[in-house]
Amino acid sequence: MRVILYIINKEFRQIFRNKGMLPIIFILPLLQLVILSNAATYEINNISFGYVDNDRTHTSRALIDKFRASTFFDVSQVFPHPKESDLAMLQGEVDVVLTIPEHFERDLWKDKNIDLGVTINAIDGAAAGVENVYITQIIKTFNKNLAVDMVQLSNNTVQPVLIEGIPLFWYNKTLNYKTFMVPGILVLLVTMITLFLSGMNIVREKEIGTLEQINVTPIKKHHFIIGKLFPFWVIGMGLLTIGLVLAKLIFAVPMLGSLTLMYFYTSIYILVILGMGLFISNFTDTQQQAMFIAWFFVVIFILMSGLFTPIESMPKWAQFLTELNPIKYFVEIMRMVMLKGSGLTDILPQLLKTTLYAVIMNTMAVWSYKKIS
Amino acid sequence: MKEETVIKVEGLTKVFGDFIAVNNINFHVRKGEIFGFLGANGAGKTTAMKMLIGISAPSSGSANVAGFDVYTQTESIKKSIGYMSQKFALYDDLTVKENIRFFGGIYGLSKNNISLKSNLLIEELGLEKVVHSLVGSLPLGWKQKIAFSVSLLHDPKIVFLDEPTGGVDPITRRQFWEMIYKAANNGTTIFVTTHYMDEAEYCDRVSIMVDGTIEALDTPKNLKAHFGSDSMNDVFLKLART
């Protein structure tokens, strides 16, 4: 036991003596939280919108004004001719072009079917889909108002019946994407920092030659590893704390569930990541190699974690693979506990899987660490 | 003269693929002896030493270090030996005192014992002024002397020194050898590799390795007589060239 304390003492001294590393450990991740949470948005705004108005009537201008009034669209360009709008689309100046046909107003009053031309730049398919929904909504509302106008004009006693769904958004009432993103990004920074630090650490001792010295001492493998990893576990928990405080102060993300549960889960989760980092460093000879391998896994884990894209939309084989992704469990737990107030029984499946993962990872790490040169 | 044997090596061999790094070497080292382990670069000295200190398993043959077997009792060997490598092995980003405390700690020394030993060491080496300096800021010669003292902290039976004086100035080398003699007089066995032939003269007995085998093993005096040379340098050149 005492041996472990000597190692922990030494590790902490080295970490806090390294003036270059400290800002990397504590400041960069928090910048990341603040910047990414604000910038990595799903909301589609400032869509550059152009139109070709072949009708040039009161009604067609009224339709354009609806777009102008919307906060999503940035009505910047008027094209006299479709050729010019095509060119502008090609050059990336506009993302959406609305073409209003000739006799738009006349046909509308005559209750004829009208084809409005909507061209959307769909290189980003997801964004194009959202833009399509916005456009359809605006046109529908416009149409509805128009229909009401017409009804009143014709002095008909029959009121048009409008059926509308009223959505209720649970757990994130205002559909604030930050509420959704902040817990996820908090997961990222805790994971990345602890993985990189633990992955780099033992390899660094290999590089400078001190590991050989350690290997000729009678130190027990698990003592050495516990002593090595404990400081990073503390740092990970510290980062979680700072991140939660920032989430509350800057982003007003609610914390509905139990903080104790959050910390309890995180304490086990970090063990998975540390074991992984150690496992990587046992199989590499230089910090560079360790960094590359760590990056390889981090990128896959992040993109397949459900943080940015829903796991339900992935193909079946990919969904199966995400079962091996620790970040997925952490993202789920974070969102469940923070936003839904889930309790211990709700997160039990993830908790058990993470615990199993931690046991397997650390057993492999201790097993693969050989006290040989 | 009947003396206790602390290292027994019989037919020790290490093979990497189809390359035989160490080929069937045999020798005994007596307690309190300064045993010089010589050889050209790539002759297999370091490989042989790594087997003896328990961080590399032999391919065949047997060896017994401080009474323990190199196949099955490596952790017991590690308790009884000290080791200092040519690659400097203290932590540059820790102070002298912190290094002493750390290594004392992982060898399981008690707190009192650590502070006692570190005070003694600091006094002997005259390190009072630099005790709180980072090891990385000290000159190489100092570092090597501290590393040697640290390898003796837990009173090992045998100390393995892998080219301890590489790159060190002649005065410091002299002082370093004085430290080695002192340790040997206290009954510690010294197993040392070196490229400096004047240092070979300081050893009680010397073995010379050529291409994985031990070509000669005797006292420097006998070796010089046997090869008709007046210095170990000559002996070494005669052996290594053939």
Secondary structure (DSSP) of A273-299: HHHHHHHHHHT-SSHHHHHHHHHHHHH
Q: Label residue A280 exposed, middle or buried (CB < 10 Å: 0-12, 13-18, 19+).
A: buried
Q: What is the pLDDT of residue A159?
A: 46
Which region, left, alpha or beta, applies to residue A98 given φ > 0 means left and ψ of -120 to 50 means alpha?
A: beta
Contacts of B101 in chain A (CB under 8 A): 6
**Contact in structure between B90 and B147 (CB atoms under 8 Å):** yes
| Tokens standing for residue B141 | 């010669």
Query: Cβ neighbours of residue A236 under 8 Å, at least 6 residues apart?
Result: A190, A193, A194, A266, A270, A273, A274
Do A7 and A72 reside in the same domain of the chain? no
Q: Which pLDDT tens digits describe chain B residue by residue (242 residues)?
A: 457 899 999 999 999 999 999 999 999 999 999 999 998 888 889 899 999 999 999 999 999 999 999 999 999 999 999 999 877 679 999 999 999 999 999 998 999 999 999 999 999 888 888 999 999 999 988 899 999 999 999 999 999 999 898 888 999 999 999 999 999 999 999 999 988 888 899 999 999 998 999 999 999 999 999 988 888 888 888 887 76
Please name the residue that has the structure tokens 């001294």: A13
First to last CA, chain A: 25
The answer to whether A188 contacts chain B (CB < 8 Å) is: no
The answer to whether A212 contacts chain B (CB < 8 Å) is: yes
The answer to whether A19 contacts chain B (CB < 8 Å) is: no
Domain membership of residue A162 (yes or no) is no
Cβ within 8 Å, pair A373-B55:
yes
Encode pLDDT of A160-192 as tens digits.
Answer: 444 555 666 666 666 667 777 888 888 888 999
First to last CA, chain B: 34
Do A215 and A80 reside in the same domain of the chain? no
A84, A118, A153 - which closes a domain: A153
Please name the residue that has the structure tokens 């354009």: A64
Do A232 and A311 reside in the same domain of the chain? yes
Do A32 and A147 reside in the same domain of the chain? no
Domain membership of residue A112 (yes or no) is yes
Best mutation target, B75, B91, B106, to test chain A (most A CBs within 10 A): B106
| Tokens standing for residue A192 | 């990345």
Q: What is the mean pLDDT of residues A8-12?
A: 93
List the single residue in B with minimal CA-CA distance to A372.
Answer: B55
A153, A186, A214 - which closes a domain: A153
Chain A to chain B, count of Cβ pairs less than 8 Å apart? 71
Do A243 and A291 reside in the same domain of the chain? yes
3-state secondary structure of A144: helix
3-state secondary structure of B5: strand
Q: What is the pLDDT of residue A240?
A: 92
| Tokens standing for residue B129 | 């002024």
pLDDT band at A110 (very low <50, low <70, confident <90, very high): confident
A89, A119, A153 - which closes a domain: A153
Do A143 and A214 reside in the same domain of the chain? no
Do A92 and A212 reside in the same domain of the chain? no
pLDDT: is A255 or B135 the higher one? B135
What is the rounded average pLDDT for all residues in chain A?
A: 85
Contacts of B78 in chain A (CB under 8 A): 216-218
What is the CATH number for A79? 3.40.1710.10
| b/e per residue B144-180 (b: at least 16 CB within 10 A) | bbbbbbbbbbbebbbbbbbbbbbebeeebbebbbebb
Contacts of A371 in chain B (CB under 8 A): 54-55, 74
Do A74 and A197 reside in the same domain of the chain? no
Do A111 and A195 reside in the same domain of the chain? no
Domain count, chain A: 2
Range of the domain at A282: 2-40+174-368
For residue A157, pLDDT over 60 is answered with no
Do A61 and A35 reside in the same domain of the chain? no
Among A209, A210, A216, the residue with its CB nearest the CB of B53 is A216
Q: What is the pTM of this model?
A: 0.81
pLDDT band at A232 (very low <50, low <70, confident <90, very high): very high
CA distance, residue B202 to nearest chain A CA (Å) = 26
Distances (CA, A) of B23 to A72, B56, B151, B209: 79, 15, 29, 10
Encode pLDDT of A310-346 as tens digits.
Answer: 888 889 999 999 999 999 999 999 888 988 888 899 9
Distance CA A232, CA A238 (A): 9
Do A18 and A52 reside in the same domain of the chain? no
Domain membership of residue A258 (yes or no) is yes
CA distance, residue A19 to nearest chain B CA (Å) = 11
Q: What is the pLDDT of residue A313?
A: 86
pLDDT band at A137 (very low <50, low <70, confident <90, very high): confident
Q: What is the pLDDT of residue A175?
A: 60
Contacts of A4 in chain B (CB under 8 A): none
For residue A280, pLDDT over 50 is answered with yes
pLDDT band at A148 (very low <50, low <70, confident <90, very high): low
Do A186 and A265 reside in the same domain of the chain? yes
**ipTM greater than 0.85, yes or no?**
yes
Q: What is the pLDDT of residue A330?
A: 92
Domain membership of residue A84 (yes or no) is yes
**Contact in structure between A316 and A231 (CB atoms under 8 Å):** no
Cβ within 8 Å, pair A217-B75:
no
Among A3, A212, A216, the residue with its CB nearest the CB of B105 is A3
**Contact in structure between B151 and B189 (CB atoms under 8 Å):** no
Q: What is the pLDDT of residue B19?
A: 92
CATH class of B5-66+73-89+157-240: alpha beta
Among A6, A214, A373, the residue with its CB nearest the CB of B50 is A373
